[in-house]
Structure 1
Amino acid sequence: MEELSNQEIKKRLLTKSKKARLEQRGKIISFSCIALIMLVVIAIFFFVASKGLATFVTDGINPLKFLFGTTWNPSELDSNGKPLVGALPMILGSFFVTFLAAIVATPFALGAAIFMTEISPQVGKKFLQPVIELLVGIPSVVYGFIGLTVIVPAVRSIFGGTGFGILAGTFVLFVMILPTVTTMTVDALKAVPRHYREAALALGSTRWQMIYKVVLRSAIPGLLTAVVFGMARAFGEALAIQMVIGNAAVMPTGLTTPAATLTSILTMGIGNTVMGTVENNVLWSLALILLLMSLVFNVVIRMIGKKGAMKG
C-alpha cells in the first residue's frame, strides 16, 4: 500500500494540473496567432514586391528613371522604346500633402490635448472627446465629398484656379488626421507623472510654465510618435485625397494647381489595366513605394519610442 501511495504521489506530481494545461493551450493559441499574422505580413510584402519589381526585372525600366522621372504616361514610349513612367510627381505630391497636413494639424491637436488634460479635463472629457471619436468614425469618402463640395469651391474663390490641388488635399487630410494626432497626444500628456506637475508648481512655476517647461518636454517622445503616426495615416489615404487633389500626374508647381499622389494614381488606374502588362506593373511599383514608406514610418515610431523609454 505504501508503494502504491508513493506511485500515486509521483504520478500526481508529474501530471499537469488543469490550470497548467489551460495555460499551455493559451500559449499555443497565442503563438499560432502571432505566427499567422507574421505569415500574412510576409506574404503581402512578398506579393507586392514580386509585382512591383517586375517593372525593373521583366520590363527593363531603369529604377532611377522611374523614381526621378517627371513624365507619367505608361502608354507612350521614350526615345529608347521604354514607357514614360516617371513617378517623381506623385512621390512629391504625397510628401507635400502629408507634411503640410501634419504641420497644420499638430498645433490644433496639441492645443486640444493641453485643454483636455491640463486646462479643463471635465469639459474636454464631456464635449471634446465625443467630437474626436465622432471624427474618427466618419468614412473617408464623406471627408472627400465634403472637401469636393466645400473646400474646393472655397479655395477656388479665395486663391483662384480650379480649386483642386495640394492645398485642398492638405485641408482634407488635416481634418482626417486631427483625431488620431489629438488622441495620441492626450495619451502622451497623461503619461507624464503627476509628481512632475506638483514639483514644478511647488517650485513657484505658473501653470503655463509648468505645462511648457515640464509636461510638454517630458512628453516629447509621445508627441513625436503622434505626429509621425498621423503622417503615416495621411500618406496612405486614397479616396478622399483623390476627390480633391485634381489627379494630374505632373510636377507640382503650386499649392492651388492640380497634382497627384501615389494613392490617387493607384486607385484611378489599377482597375483599368491588365495584369502582367507594363501599365499594371508600374502601378504595383507605386504600391511597393507606399509599402516601403509605411515600413519607414513604423521604424521611425519604434525609434522614437525606444529613445523615450531610455530617457524615462
Structure 2
Amino acid sequence: MNNKDLKKVVESALDKQKVPHVKLKKIGASKVDVASLTEPSKETRQEYWGKGLTYCAIILIIILVASIIGFIGFHGLETFTKDHVNVFQFLASSDWDPGEGKSHVGAAAMIVTSFSVTLLAALVATPFAIAVALFMTEYSSKKGARFLQSVIELLVGIPSVVYGFLGLTIIVPFIRNIFSGTGFGILSATLVLFVMVLPTITSLTVDSLKAVPSDYRKASLALGATKWQTIYKVILRVASPRIMTAVIFGMACAFGEALAVQMVIGNAVLMPANLVSPSATLTSQLTSQMGNTVMGTLPNNALWSLALLLLIMSLVFNFLVRLIGKRGQK
C-alpha cells in the first residue's frame, strides 16, 4: 500500500467516526503524518539492531571455533600427511623422540599417563565432592552453606601455578619420604589435580542436588523413610545424570591441565611403571617442548598432533556431557 492509498484509508476512517475522539476531532486527513505510520518506530529499529548484533556475535563465535579447529587440525595432520608417520605407530608406540626421525614418534606413554591421572583424580575427588554437596544442601544451615560456597569459590580462583608450586614443595617431598624415589609421578599429579577439580565437581553437584524437586523429599519422608534413605534412594538417584555430568566436566578440566601437572609429574616420556615413577602427560609435554621446536619440522608437527589429540578428547568429553544430559531429561 502506497502513501496515497494509506491517506485515503485514514480519511475514510475519520469521516466515518460516529463519536469523534477528543484528540482526533480537530484532525483532518491533511494533518495525518503518513510517514510516521509507514516508517519503522524507534523500538522496531532497536530490535533490528539487537538482532543484528546477536547474529554478528554468533557468526563471530562460529568462525572463531571453526578457525581454531581448522588450524590445529591442519598442523596436527601434517605429521601423517607430510612426514608420513603411521597413525597406529603414533597411538601405540611409546618411543618418543621426534628429533631422531618419524620412527620415534609414539605418544602411547603420554596418552596412558593423561588418562591415568584424569581417571584417578576424578575417582578421588568425586566422593569428597558429593559428600560436601550433600552437606551443603541437606544438612548445613544457610550460613554454613554460604561459608562453604565462598571457600569453594576461593579454591577456583587460585592460579594453577600456585597449586603446582604447593605440590612441588609439599606433595613431592612427602611422597619421596614415604615411597622413596624422586617423588614425581602420577600420584603427585593426581593429588594436585584432586584439589583443582574438587571445586568444579562440587559446585555442579550442588546445583544438581538443588534441582531435585522438594516434593520428592517430602513424599519420601511422608512414606516413613529416614533422612539418609531419602538421600540415598531418592535424591542421589534423581540427580545422578547431572552428577555424572559434573564428574565429566571435572575430568575434562583435569585432562587439559598443563602447568600444575608439569611441575609435579617429572616430564619423562616413559610408560609409567607405577604411580611414583616420573612420567609425562600430553599437556606437560606440549608446554615444555613447544618453544624448543621450529615451525614446520617433524618435532613441531608431532607436538601439533598431540594438541589435535587433546582437542579430540575435549570434543569427546562435550559429547558425553550432552549424551548424559539427554538421558537425564528422559
Which TM bucket (shorter chain)? over 0.9
Q: Deviations over 1:50-85 (max 9, x none)?
A: 0000000000110110111111111224xxxx3401
Match of 2:131? 111
Give the Cα separation in 2 of the matches to 1:286 and 1:252: 18
Deviation at 1:18, TM superposition (A): 2.3
Give the Cα separation in 2 of the matches to 1:218 and 1:14: 55
Match of 2:63? 39
Give the Cα separation in 2 of the matches to 1:123 and 1:165: 40
Give the Cα separation in 2 of the matches to 1:288 and 1:113: 35
Give the Cα separation in 1 of the matches to 2:43 and 2:217: 44
Greater mean deviation of Cα atoms: 8-17 or 154-163: 8-17
Match of 2:19? none
Give the Cα separation in 2 of the matches to 1:306 and 1:12: 49
User: Which residue of the other structure, out of 214, 223, 228, is the alignment partner of 1:194?
Assistant: 214
1:198-277 to structure 2, matched below 5 A, reads 198-277=218-297
Q: Deviations over 1:26-67 (max 9, x none)?
A: 111111101100100000000000000000000011011011
After superposing on structure 2, the runs of 4+ consecutive aligned residues of structure 1 that deviate more than 6 Å are none
Identity rate, percent: 59
Q: Deviations over 1:179-206 (max 9, x none)?
A: 0000000000000111111111111111
Q: Deviations over 1:206-227 (max 9, x none)?
A: 1111111111111011100000
Alignment partner of 1:72 is 2:96: yes
Match of 1:147? 167
SS of the residue aligned with 1:75?
helix
Please, which runs of 5 or more residues in structure 2 have no aligned partner? 12-28
Give the Cα separation in 2 of the matches to 1:171 and 1:123: 29
Deviation at 1:14, TM superposition (A): 4.5
Match of 1:94? 114
Give the Cα separation in 1 of the matches to 2:63 and 2:100: 39
Q: Which amino acid aligns with 1:113?
A: A
Q: Deviations over 1:245-283 (max 9, x none)?
A: 000101111000001000000001100000000010000
SS of the residue aligned with 2:97?
strand
SS of the residue aligned with 2:104?
strand
Q: Which amino acid aligns with 1:106?
A: T
User: Which residue of the other structure, out of 45, 51, 73, is the alignment partner of 2:75?
Assistant: 51
Deviation at 1:304, TM superposition (A): 1.0
SS of the residue aligned with 1:61?
coil
Give the Cα separation in 2 of the matches to 1:65 and 1:167: 28
User: Which residue of the other structure, out of 298, 303, 318, is the alignment partner of 1:283?
Assistant: 303
Give the Cα separation in 2 of the matches to 1:133 and 1:253: 36
Match of 1:137? 157
User: Which residue of the other structure, out of 86, 99, 110, is the alignment partner of 1:62?
Assistant: 86
Match of 2:199? 179
Using structure 2 for the length normalisation, give the TM-score: 0.89
Using structure 1 for the length normalisation, give the TM-score: 0.94
Greater mean deviation of Cα atoms: 4-13 or 66-75: 4-13
SS of the residue aligned with 1:105?
helix
Greater mean deviation of Cα atoms: 7-16 or 55-64: 7-16
Deviation at 1:9, TM superposition (A): 8.2
Deviation at 1:10, TM superposition (A): 7.1
Q: Which amino acid aligns with 1:98?
A: T
Give the Cα separation in 2 of the matches to 1:48 and 1:195: 49
**Alpha-carbon contact 1:116-1:123 (below 8 Å) kept:** no
Give the Cα separation in 2 of the matches to 1:121 and 1:13: 59
SS of the residue aligned with 1:16?
coil
SS of the residue aligned with 1:72?
coil
Q: Which amino acid aligns with 1:203?
A: L
Give the Cα separation in 1 of the matches to 2:257 and 2:69: 19
Deviation at 1:168, TM superposition (A): 0.2
Match of 2:10? 5
Q: Deviations over 1:139-164 (max 9, x none)?
A: 00000000000000111111221100
SS of the residue aligned with 1:204?
coil
Q: Which amino acid aligns with 2:84?
A: G
Deviation at 1:123, TM superposition (A): 4.2
Deviation at 1:24, TM superposition (A): 2.0
Deviation at 1:307, TM superposition (A): 1.2
> CA RMSD, aligned part only?
1.7
Deviation at 1:11, TM superposition (A): 5.6
